[in-house]
Structure 1
């Protein structure tokens, strides 16, 4: 499946982001965790992303493997994340995970939430 096909059916984790997630999991010393990406109400624009390690499997979860990293999206968050690309940036100006989401109509000035 190409990146474009994956983006059409769900979220995409870039190779750079996958590498960072693997490094963080190695630091934790756990191989039973997966990266969960969720959308929750909150923030000044209405919705907020959550990325965290999770060992749970919930009914209706969508699980995809990206470069050896399991990415899990719950069924309620999936429509908000279809086509979204998660990357990791490490530059002098910025470091962290970024989310490019074509479903976001706009975001707040701080970039913490979207609608």
Structure 2
């Protein structure tokens, strides 16, 4: 399935309810894009609900929480992506 880093686990616990959701939609520069949202559905892993239709695109991925100067965000590290956009939200397989 997917891995969630300790930093991301702590962030997801702080958020609490509703749970964070991750889906994959067609679009973006590279063909597909990650879509983050919230949901009241039961989490798939670590307070994160993963859309069952997205599983084939994110199998083997790592979800990390990144804090940079003036910004913080959840990031998907996808070893299966054959292309990605500089924004980090768009990828191809």
Task: Tell me whether the two structures share a fold, i.e. TM-score over 0.5.
Answer: yes
Could you tell me which runs of 5 or more consecutive residues in structure 1 were left unpaired when the two chains were aligned: 1-9
Could you tell me which runs of 5 or more consecutive residues in structure 2 were left unpaired when the two chains were aligned: none
Aligned to 1:109: 86
**1:5-50, CA deviations, whole angstroms, 9 ceiling, x for partnerless residues?**
xxxxx1111111121122223xxxx4xx322211111111110101
TM-score norm. by structure 1 comes to 0.68
For the pair shown, the structure with the greater C-alpha radius of gyration is 1
Number of residue pairs the alignment of both structures matches: 92
**1:56-76, CA deviations, whole angstroms, 9 ceiling, x for partnerless residues?**
36xxxx822x3xx2x222221
- Deviation, 1:87, is 0.5
Superposition map of 1:1-115 within 5 A: 10-25=1-16, 30=17, 33-56=18-41, 63-64=44-45, 66=46, 69=47, 71-92=48-69, 95-115=72-92
What is the CA–CA distance in structure 2 between the aligned matches of 1:110 and 1:40, rounded to whole Å? 15
Structure 2 contact 21–37 (Cα < 8 Å) conserved: yes
Bigger fraction of residues in strand: 2
- Deviation, 1:93, is 7.5
What is the CA–CA distance in structure 2 between the aligned matches of 1:41 and 1:80, rounded to whole Å? 11
- 2:87 match: secondary structure: coil
Structure 2 contact 24–32 (Cα < 8 Å) conserved: yes
